[in-house]
A and B are shown apart, each in its own frame.
Chain A
């Protein structure tokens, strides 16, 4: 496919990288020559310098001959306009990133979809929902639902008191709990390990599992015995993301929002109902003191200042916060922050964008595809076609690449455990986790 990406920021570059790996032809447009040079140095793409909403630039990129136009600049209006122009010129699909909720939540007569934008992504909303999911499930560093809540994917880190340390699954005393969920991936020192029966868990491993919500909750109680539900959530930074998160959180957990700017604080106060809003600099001891930080508190730093966010989390940890998460916009910081275990979780909004776009791209053949946070792997949801060679095949007879694992199977709305002697049937939905290298192989195997 020929794909035009407008915007060479984090989301644009991340997307271009994924799409190049899948052998699509990518053209990237940005007004900033330095950002383009940086993108071009590491990627096999054509770059064009210019404003994405400028028709002559779009023409130069031969957008009209492209299959997809993705607009992910920082500017909503540019994104929308370039998608509309692209649609008018005959691009088959258009995707725009739109941050301002007013564009999305308006009356149905004024609908961007009607004007020809196929997918509208509100990166911040997606990201806020992801953080909210984590806050609802203490111990989880990542949690999202699939199949309308029937299946959940969750990630947790193996801490010092965990009963899993230095054991294989078979050596653990609560085998029943382990068998009720399925471990699909382990991240160890920034490497992805696809587990098998003899994999030994180590401290600080990030373990991802798939299962039903109740099973995962029970498993978590056992595996993270020291973690209790949060009594309070403190959010530093009342920007779009912070405000959205507060809206989700305030109905479930006590919420405090720290915002330095008087006017913005007032605006947040008008938008929110139960949240306590403090006009204070979150990077001061007194502000943390005033917000009532104690040991069953989650602290989420969501200002635009990466260094400040990290520092803020460290301060909160010192004060006793049991969970800290920080937003990081500079991609280069993420591996460092994660490898030093400075915070419990790094939030990077662009991942949600990439996720949603890849999801949409595959929607014709594969129902959902999700990226796990910073793991070079994906979850694929594949429907077995009638009379396909997989129809009637037993799982143990399928030659699955070593970098892939069948997570679970949905049959007639029921979750089936993927044991070796289970026979696949037509219309089964198979959830497979695989390394990015193996996506193509899996697709050719099952489709």
Chain B
């Protein structure tokens, strides 16, 4: 690994973080908050910027990145962003313990939305805005943003893009990777803006809440400004707007780009999108009838809650309007399965990604067919195009590692949690970047009761999940560090 070039690029990313933290001080100033809050944000931002400046100057030189360096940059970049991003919480005293502060920051950047904070209404707006902004940066990827704005990266940009963008095969909208990154960020920013405007004018939120929730939705994050999450607004219109935008955030952003350039038919030509769309409708209906039969509320209320929760969990957002922990076991189990699946490849959602699940299901069918006719040659196709054998075996390995980590992680977490359901779901909820799990980490609870050691482990799981395992795990291979 070319350490000098890796840390040089990490310093650029840290600089972006520093600037963003200082911008939050401006928000705090706008709302006339105590000077200490603004100062803590400014200090945190300055520390990040100065550190970035010093490292950047010390490591300057040619930037020639190999594939390996891409993984290094992304992993260390995210760790650096989390360390510096946690400073505002610590300096302002909102979260005292540094590990908890890093848990909260990592949860923000990885768009998990798991929180250690309980009484959100007492937290200053400057800090709230930073919390929401970590979501927004992490959703499309801070490094993808760097690829879009740093002109000198060239091929190196591709290595970074490959390591940070989710999904088994990476789309390229345009020949040059910097242009692709710009377009994706453009689509992302546009959708965020539209949602914020709708939440303000149709949903009746104030500008602050509308932007914080728009950041949380488009990044499929889940941090809210209220303890009762989106349920606190108790408005069908707000719910509807957020459902639509959570759904959009879980779709491959390349498809949005094609739709915006006049090819909306690409949505339903995409097999992953079709699967995502119909699976979501199916599971919404299943949950609706399941909870309606349990006589919890009126049918329309059941439908509204089921639609919101199903979308929120499948896209790994983690906003809540109803306490799904009180729903029947069938619905709760379905939600756990949905946590595993996550959004589409190339979206901001977490989990294993729909396309991987879809290809694995096809593989199972293919295996059964070849069992029956051993000499049959069956080429797997996706949307009429053959799927390469390497991608299939890559996905099988991904599945195996994912399940292994869930099993091992749950075992470890039983030491830090009161029961098995909590232990298993907190690992799935962090690894899949969802946020809320079941029982002690359920939608109305938070992660504040888990000890700092447990929080530290979950922080690592969030990073693993967001960077899709390989990017982080590859750093543990001894040969990665050798020349």
Contact = CB atoms under 8 A, between A and B. Distances in A.
B266 to A, nearest CB: 13
Interface string A14-33: 00000010010111000000
A25 B172 CA distance: 12
A231 to B, nearest CB: 48
B154 A25 contact: no
Interface string A26-48: 11000000000000111111100
B176 interface: yes
Contacts of A27: 175
B174 interface: yes
A42 B175 contact: no
A154 to B, nearest CB: 32
B174 A44 contact: no
A42 B155 contact: yes
Given A2-B175, A27-B175, A46-B174, A41 B154 contact: no
A46 B175 contact: yes
Interface in A397-411: none
B174 A25 contact: yes
B175 A41 contact: no
Contacts of B465: none
B175 A26 contact: yes
A343 to B, nearest CB: 30
B67 A41 contact: yes
B177 interface: yes
A25 B176 contact: yes
B175 A25 contact: yes
Interface in B163-205: 172, 174-179
A46 B67 CA distance: 17
Interface string A286-301: 0000000000000000
Interface in A421-443: none
B389 to A, nearest CB: 12
B177 to A, nearest CB: 5
A25 B155 contact: no
A20 B154 CA distance: 8
Contacts of B67: 41
Interface of B: 67, 154-155, 157-158, 172, 174-179
Contacts of A25: 174-176, 179
Contacts of A26: 175-176
**What is the size category of the interface that chain A forms with chain B?**
10 to 19
Q: Which of A23, A25, A43, A44 has most chain B Cβ within 10 Å?
A: A44
Contacts of A20: 154-155
B155 A46 contact: no
Nearest to B176: A25
A396 to B, nearest CB: 32
A40 B177 CA distance: 12
Given A20-B154, A26-B175, A43-B155, 20 more contacts: A2-B175, A20-B155, A23-B176, A25-B174, A25-B175, A25-B179, A27-B175, A40-B158, A42-B155, A44-B154, A44-B155, A44-B158, A44-B176, A44-B177, A44-B178, A45-B175, A45-B176, A46-B172, A46-B174, A46-B175
21 contacts: A2-B175, A20-B154, A23-B176, A25-B174, A25-B175, A25-B176, A26-B175, A26-B176, A27-B175, A41-B67, A42-B155, A43-B155, A44-B175, A44-B176, A44-B177, A44-B178, A45-B175, A45-B176, A46-B172, A46-B174, A46-B175
Q: Which of B157, B174, B175 has most chain A Cβ within 10 Å?
A: B175
A41 B67 CA distance: 8
Contacts of B158: 40, 44
Contacts of B178: 44
Contacts of A41: 67
A45 B155 CA distance: 8
A144 B67 CA distance: 40
Contacts of A40: 158
A20 B155 CA distance: 9
A2 B155 CA distance: 17
Contacts of A42: 155
Nearest to B67: A41
Contact of B157 (A23, A44, A46): A44
B419 to A, nearest CB: 49
A52 to B, nearest CB: 16
B201 to A, nearest CB: 38
B47 to A, nearest CB: 34
A164 to B, nearest CB: 32
A376 B157 CA distance: 23
Contacts of B154: 20, 44
A442 B95 CA distance: 56
A27 B175 CA distance: 6
Nearest to B155: A44
Nearest to A33: B388
Nearest to B178: A44
A25 B154 CA distance: 11
A27 B172 CA distance: 11
Contacts of B179: 25
Nearest to B172: A46
Nearest to B179: A25
A43 B154 CA distance: 8
B297 to A, nearest CB: 51
Question: Top 5 nearest A-B pairs by Cβ distance?
Answer: A25-B175, A46-B175, A44-B155, A46-B172, A27-B175
Contacts of B175: 2, 25-27, 44-46
Contacts of B177: 44
Contacts of B157: 44
Q: Which of B67, B158, B178 has most chain A Cβ within 10 Å?
A: B158
Nearest to A20: B154
A68 to B, nearest CB: 12
Nearest to A23: B176
Contacts of A43: 155
A41 B157 CA distance: 12
Contacts of B176: 23, 25-26, 44-45
B162 to A, nearest CB: 10
A42 B66 CA distance: 8
A267 to B, nearest CB: 43
A45 B176 CA distance: 6
A26 B178 CA distance: 13
